[in-house]
Structure 1
């Protein structure tokens, strides 16, 4: 399927994943993950999702950390429980991370219960997002959804994800209405920075990867407060900034607008557009993972707009690596 079509079908993909994960979690004992230090790992977009997930654990008073898979390749004892994220379950680095920590309790979240990552884990939750494209849309948001539901069962809380499919449809429609303006303002950017704090740093990382993959525009992710200490000095009328948040991020968006730099602010607050600032308001979720799902839709859409403008619609990757996925033959 095309990138745009997979973006559009996320309400269905999320509803299907919610239904499947709810059944699996009803029969899954997650108590072995109830440890002092919980790591969340992945690579690429899955590491961005790990940052979002770890932030929710911390917000609920748990010692949860996003750990890069390569940092566990030597078997360092970095956590007591480990959650591994990989859409297809074949990312070499993430599989190695789970295999190198045999003493830790391990949960894998993938779309394939027979995948190498699932086999390396004690527990597995299957994604039911259907088809995905490159860049990933349904795979990323379904991973967040299943992880969020698992963490709700582990640490308690209400059902913050039942309404996500319906909200996804509404947010995609509202964000879609702003894309013509954003397409004009963000055309011919030489670079785009993506900024957010805490869980939104993961969302910013995911957004920067989408822009790189879909439009081949250099894009980087920064923590909000870190961004104020120098990185934003490179931005001007030839660049763009995508910002996620409702705190210092609002003033930041207005500051870059004042210097003539096009900006997109994805926020839960009522903030007016500026001269080159476009604001997309999204519903506020109490759960940071649920918020991460709602926030990423605007980034997916602007990446698609920029991809179309560059003549790269559904173009395949130029660089194909032979050592980033466990070959299917080995997975048998």
Structure 2
């Protein structure tokens, strides 16, 4: 399964996952998640999805925090319930976190369901995202769809997820039309920063992970306003930045372009335009931060693929496979 083909398959896969998640939610007793503090946890891409999810729950008035799974691997009493994210369900850290907090109500969000994380949790949602590639695309967006629909079920306000699955195809097509331009200005940059706020910080984190994995370019994520207080100092005409947002992010994108940085801005704003080394991808507006994040990540996926191809790394597997991060199948 190639990375680009998995990216392209996402609109159809999301529609299929939507039906699976609806059926899963109908079977669940969500009462233990309706009060108290929710801890949303994961590792790698799943942690970035946790950041996105916690931001949306906070917007809706829920006390929710994103936790690195490694920070829950020791017993304690930090939250009243845990939502653990892992597409494959075999990452050691979130499984250990649930086992260490066996007295806390937990729900696992995984793709196939038959895995150690689902077994360790009190309940689970299986979103059936199908085959994935390296880096992950369907697993990440499937996770967001599941947590988005779970958030709706908890908070009592519905989002038009069917519309979103259709818009995903539109955003992919419009983003693809910008990738030759973006690829040209980002090529051979020595480092790439990814910037966003609240839930978009999770999107930035996932974008940075994709670039590191697919193109082997150093990349990292920073909160928008925090970025202004020093982290942007190393940036110049040899670096690039991906920016997600509609507020202070607009001026930041223009300022970074002026100093020679390659800039990709993902925004709903219709006034800012491509200019020199600034490329703008417009996405539809969604009040729901998880829905917005699901669309925002699509141009980042395509840019990672573009940079991977340019570096001669198309569909190259990880160089540094670890032997102690996954629980093997019996």
TM-score (norm: length of structure 2): 0.98
How far apart are the structure 1 equivalents of 2:176 and 2:210? 16
What corresponds to 1:281 in structure 2? 282
What corresponds to 2:90 in structure 1? 90
Q: Could you say what the CA RMSD is over the residues aligned between the two structures, in angstroms?
A: 0.8
How far apart are the structure 1 equivalents of 2:148 and 2:282? 22
What corresponds to 2:328 in structure 1? 327
Report matched runs for 1:201-280 at 5 Å: 201-270=201-270, 271-280=272-281
Question: Deviations along 1:35-66, whole A, 9 cap, x unmatched?
Answer: 31000000000000000000011000011000
Residues 107-116 or 173-182, more deviating: 107-116
What corresponds to 2:78 in structure 1? 78
Question: Deviations along 1:258-317, whole A, 9 cap, x unmatched?
Answer: 111110000011111122111000001111000000000000000000000000000010
| Contact kept in structure 1, 2:241 and 2:264, CA below 8 Å | yes
What corresponds to 1:311 in structure 2? 312
What corresponds to 1:186 in structure 2? 186
Q: For 2:233, what is the secondary structure of its paired residue?
A: helix
1:10, distance to aligned residue in structure 2 (A): 0.2
1:102, distance to aligned residue in structure 2 (A): 1.6
What corresponds to 1:170 in structure 2? 170
How far apart are the structure 2 equivalents of 1:194 and 1:72? 26
Report matched runs for 1:146-157 at 5 Å: 146-157=146-157
Is 1:300 matched with 2:324? no
Aligned length: 329
How far apart are the structure 2 equivalents of 1:97 and 1:192? 32
| Contact kept in structure 1, 2:112 and 2:128, CA below 8 Å | no
TM-score (norm: length of structure 1): 0.98
Report matched runs for 1:42-61 at 5 Å: 42-61=42-61
Alignment gaps of 5+ in structure 2: none
Alignment gaps of 5+ in structure 1: none
Q: For 2:232, what is the secondary structure of its paired residue?
A: helix
